[in-house]
């Protein structure tokens, strides 16, 4: 069974949300957990969509 695919707009919003959470003192692991993805997915998204 395939997982849910996020749209690029949603991915960019989640990346911004992680940045905000890190600014508030959360670690990367905690912030990524709060948006509901794995660290590997977060870093892949950041590599692909980080410049947007």
Looking at residue 49, what is its pLDDT? 92
Share of the chain above pLDDT 90, in %: 83
pTM: 0.85
Contacts (Cβ under 8 Å, ≥6 apart) of 50: 15
Q: Give dist(CA 2, CA 17) in Å, integer.
A: 25
Q: Give dist(CA 34, CA 52) in Å, integer.
A: 21
Q: Give dist(CA 34, CA 31) in Å, integer.
A: 5
């Amino acid at each position: 069974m395939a997982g849910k695919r996020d749209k690029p707009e949603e991915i960019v919003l989640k990346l911004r949300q992680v940045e905000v959470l890190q600014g508030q003192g959360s670690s990367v692991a905690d912030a990524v957990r709060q948006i509901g993805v794995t660290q590997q997915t977060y870093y892949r998204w950041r590599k692909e969509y980080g410049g947007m």
